[in-house]
Structure 1
């Protein structure tokens, strides 16, 4: 599917399984954050909407103003963080590189890259919309042996 030319109806009809749609104050700013910190690809970026690709995974960003008739809009807090309680996990991202890039952009690193007992190296990063993005990768055999 060509995300640059697909019609909204065709794109919508193609969605299946589990979907992720993130409401944001500024679509362009969130796109920039996701591209620079996680190397994501963006398509059809406008003030209202963007299609984001992380590897073969596709999700959507929508500007708050596009949800004027949606009941979810009334539940969003006026002040961040607005994404409390959800972790958006990116299992194929280098946590050290993501944390470094996030800090360079002024994003808040909640937890520095850390080796975890469940076999992953992770970092928790809050974007300006208050969502927790967790960049992680599998620990190497050496890191696991060292107690990660």
Structure 2
């Protein structure tokens, strides 16, 4: 499927499994963050909406205003952090490289890259919308020198 040209109806009908759709104040800024720090690929990105790919997974980003008649909009906090309590795990991202890129752009690295007892090396990075993005790799896959 060509994510640049697929109709909304065909795109929606193609979605399966668990989906991730985030409401944000600034779609282009969120897209830039996700592409830069985690290597996602953006499609159809504009001020209201974007489709992102992370490996074979699809992430959708919507601006608050696109939910004008959705009951969820009224539950969003007026002031950040809106994503408190949400942890989004990206299991195929080098945590050391992600933390370096996040730091370079001034993002909050909530937890520096750390080897965890559950077999992963991971870092936790907050985006401007308050969502916690956890980049991780199995410790055995972590690049040497990390």
TM-score range, shorter chain: over 0.9
Structure 1 unaligned segments of length 5 or more: list them: 143-148
Listed as ranges, the matches of 1:36-51 within 5 Å are: 36-51=36-51
Aligned length: 142
Residue 16 of structure 1, CA deviation: 1.6
C-alpha distance in 1, partners of 2:28/2:58? 17
Structure 2 unaligned segments of length 5 or more: list them: none
Counterpart position of 1:138: 138
Q: TM-score, normalised by structure 2?
A: 0.94
C-alpha distance in 2, partners of 1:99/1:79? 25
Counterpart position of 2:96: 96
CA RMSD, aligned part only? Answer: 1.2
Aligned to 1:102, the other structure's residue is in SS state helix
Residue 67 of structure 1, CA deviation: 0.6
Listed as ranges, the matches of 1:14-33 within 5 Å are: 14-33=14-33
Residue 118 of structure 1, CA deviation: 0.2
Counterpart position of 1:35: 35
**Per-residue CA distance 1:90-115 (angstroms, 9 max, x = gap):** 00000000011001111100000000
Aligned to 2:135, the other structure's residue is in SS state strand
Q: TM-score, normalised by structure 1?
A: 0.93
Residue 141 of structure 1, CA deviation: 8.4
Residue 59 of structure 1, CA deviation: 1.5
